[in-house]
Amino acid sequence: MRNMANAVNCLDDINALAILDSAKLIANDDASYRNVLDQLAADFTNGQSCCRVVMLAGPSGSGKTTTAHMLAEAIQNCGRNAFVVSLDNFYRGVGKAPRLEDGSYDYESVEALDYERLQENLIQLLDEGRAYFPIYDFEKGSPADHSNLIELGKEDIIILEGIHALNPIVIGALKDKGCLIRLYISVETPYVDAKGDVVLTARDTRLLRRMLRDYRFRNADLSRTFSMWKQVCRGEDLYLFPYKDHSDIIVDSFHCFEPCVYRELMMPLVQQMNVTDPHYGKAVSLMDALSRFEKISVELVPQSSMIREFTGGGKYL
């Protein structure tokens, strides 16, 4: 198992670099992350590799969706075709998931996915070169009436991304095909101050990403994201983290300049919260941590940056 990470995570160092040249800080960080993916793409496409399926898993706010598309682009730059499929398309539908103790449905569970169809589709794709993959209609809360035909050449690679991508139940018979790479992506690095004290945990960074994304793309305020976060974390603890060590490669999606950008974006969202909100204290605590970082305008973040998955304006989503 390889752990691919290269991070400047000290608050003082980040602030010094931001003051010196914010644009250069962002460019260097983005380039470092892209270099990791370029290296993976080169490994997956070299003459000795038999990789045809990449199972890419990660928790909420890990950046797995954008990373999957960036990796596909890197593979294509190596001369091979690559396709990205979200495991979300294999949801069984509203009301078709195990129930929790309170009677609500556990849509974080692997049983909420039609993994039997996923295995059938993948095996057919590998054996016959073509298969129809489902498309999930989130507005209706059920699989769409139409499907997506994917045709996979002998040199092509398919990337499947989702929280359950490492689960043995999902992988099934694919493990015997000898063509599978298991990739885990998440924020692995915390932010620390000069004394080594943690300023933001890795999970804090993912929460910040999730809050910004939910606000911009899911019409959810901070209170709504906070109310879902406990259940999201429970799902990660039960259904993802136990399989992290099954991965062949771990990629750290940490970008050191993130808090500098999030500082300005988060402030108005926190100000919109009611002080009586039970999550207000945590929101203020996160804002206090962000206020220790130098400000960087989101306008300096390129459209090709993975961080655009959460701030909006990205080229991949």
> In this predicted structure, what is the pLDDT of residue 6?
59
Q: Which residue has the higher pLDDT, 185 or 108?
A: 185
Check whether 1 has a pLDDT greater than 60.
no
Q: pLDDT tens digits for 265-276? A: 999 999 999 999
Cα distance between residue 97 and residue 108, in whole Å: 9
Residue with tokens 């004394």: 195
Domain with residues 2-310, CATH architecture: 3-Layer(aba) Sandwich (3.40)
What mean pLDDT comes out for the span 87-113?
Answer: 91
Amino acid in position 250: I
Pairing of strands 198-200, 180-186: unpaired
What is the dihedral angle through the alpha carbons of 90, 94, 95, 99, rounded to the nearest 10 degrees? 70
pLDDT bracket for residue 55 (50, 70, 90): very high
Q: What is the Cα–Cα distance from 68 to 66, expressed in whole angstroms?
A: 5
Token code pair at residue 232: 């999201």
Q: Which pLDDT value is given to residue 15? A: 98
Tens-digit pLDDT profile for residues 152-165: 998 999 999 999 99
- Pick from 165, 191, 190, 136: which is nearest to 65 by CA? 165
Q: In angstroms, what CA-CA distances link 100 with 95, 114, 159, 165, 257?
A: 12, 19, 31, 22, 39
Q: How confident is the model at residue 60 (pLDDT cuts 50, 70, 90)?
A: very high
Query: Could you tell me the pTM of the whole model?
Result: 0.93
pLDDT of 2 above 70: no
Q: Give the residue-averaged pLDDT of 183-205.
A: 97
Q: Is the pLDDT of residue 317 over 80?
A: no
Of 5-14, 76-85, 235-244, 289-298, least confident by mean pLDDT is 5-14
Amino acid in position 27: A
Residue 306 has pLDDT above 60, yes or no: yes
pLDDT at 49: 74
Neighbouring CB atoms inside 10 A of 284's CB total 13
| Cα 232 to Cα 75: distance, rounded to the nearest angstrom | 31
Distance CA 212, CA 206 (A): 10
Between 58 and 51, whose confidence is greater? 58
Q: Output the average pLDDT for the chain.
A: 93
Average pLDDT over residues 48-71: 93
